[in-house]
Amino acid sequence: MTVEAAQDQDTIAQETPYIEPSTHTVLTRLRERIVTGEIPPDARLRAEGLATEMNVSRTPIRSALAVLSAEGLVSYSVNRGYTVRAMSLGDIFDSIETRAALEGLAARASVDLGWSREALDNLRALEAAGRAIVDKGAWSQAIELDWYTVNRQFHAQILHAAQNASLRNAIRMTLVYPLFGDAARLCPVVAACVPPRLRQVPATPPDHIRQSQDEHGKILAAIQAEDSIEAGRLMTDHVLSTRTRLHAIAIRR
């Protein structure tokens, strides 16, 4: 399987087991707009208006809103319908902590179940792709997006190898901040607490990206060594490092 083919694994890891194509597109777009603040907290989400705006029928909109409600990104009440849930910095940190435990479990389970040669080759290719991006030495918003895409696929491949639908669904509900760039800049809840100088996109790969890529290599090595305990520990620490970094640079109010 090629690196590009990991998009399929990415979808498996982050979405429900089966979603109609139109609903999947609507869901992805709405989630992105919510987590980046394009649709602000407490905004009402009317199916009719969103359907017109996105040029789709109300059916995929309603299906997407139901999924977003299950994920905790939107709330539903009889009187107001669907509204965007207001997130706090504590909510973001809690979600990262929960995801760290769950992804650690997934890494451990994947090793205990055993990796096929094809899946392991694909994981190696993803680690190498991320390493190649970092080793070029240049950085920009576009390059950051490329790296985060590979990063997301790397995590998704491990989650898929765990073969646990309940675990996939649980992890999906912890993804309440952007996974396509630095949360310190792209997640409004976090960005509001981070000094402007720490939200700039540097010209070279930042330290936290280099560290994250190094951690991918260590996780891969543990999986190849069939050390499930070490793989789980490394994955948990890897995800928690994001929380540690964001906590260190955020101005607590």
CA 162/CA 220 separation, integer angstroms: 14
The letter for the amino acid at 25 is T
User: In the structure encoding, which two tokens stand for residue 175, read together?
Assistant: 């993804």
Confidence of residue 152 (pLDDT cuts 50, 70, 90): very high
Please state, rounded to an integer, the average pLDDT across all residues of the chain.
89
**Averaged pLDDT, 74-86:** 92
CA 54/CA 43 separation, integer angstroms: 17
Radius of gyration of the CA atoms of the chain, in A: 18
**Averaged pLDDT, 118-132:** 98
Q: Is the pLDDT of residue 1 over 80?
A: no
Q: Is the pLDDT of residue 92 over 60?
A: yes
Residue 139's contacts (CB-CB under 8 Å, 6 or more residues apart) are 201, 202, 203, 204, 205, 206, 209
> What are the two backbone dihedrals, phi and then psi, of residue 75, each rounded to the nearest 5 degrees?
-115, 155
Q: Is the pLDDT of residue 15 over 80?
A: no
Alpha-carbon 49 to chain mean position: 28
Query: 53-71, pLDDT tens digit by residue?
Result: 999 999 999 999 998 998 8
pLDDT of residue 71: 81
3-class secondary-structure state, position 16:
coil
- Among 9-18, 29-38, 211-220, the minimum mean pLDDT is found in 9-18
**Averaged pLDDT, 249-253:** 73
Which helix (H) or strand (E) covers residue 76, if one does? strand 74-77
pLDDT of residue 11: 43
User: In the structure encoding, which two tokens stand for residue 219, read together?
Assistant: 């996780």
Cβ 159 vs Cβ 99: under 8 Å = no
Cβ 22 vs Cβ 60: under 8 Å = yes
Q: Is the pLDDT of residue 19 over 60?
A: no
Cβ 13 vs Cβ 160: under 8 Å = yes
Q: Is the pLDDT of residue 221 over 70?
A: yes
Cβ 18 vs Cβ 11: under 8 Å = no
Q: Is the pLDDT of residue 3 over 70?
A: no
In angstroms, what CA-CA distances link 140 with 132, 181, 219?
Answer: 15, 11, 26
Q: Is the pLDDT of residue 12 over 80?
A: no
Alpha-carbon 242 to chain mean position: 12
- Among 32-41, 157-166, 204-213, the minimum mean pLDDT is found in 32-41
pTM of the model: 0.82
Q: Which residue has the tokens 């199916």?
A: 47
Query: 173-186, pLDDT tens digit by residue?
Result: 888 777 788 999 98
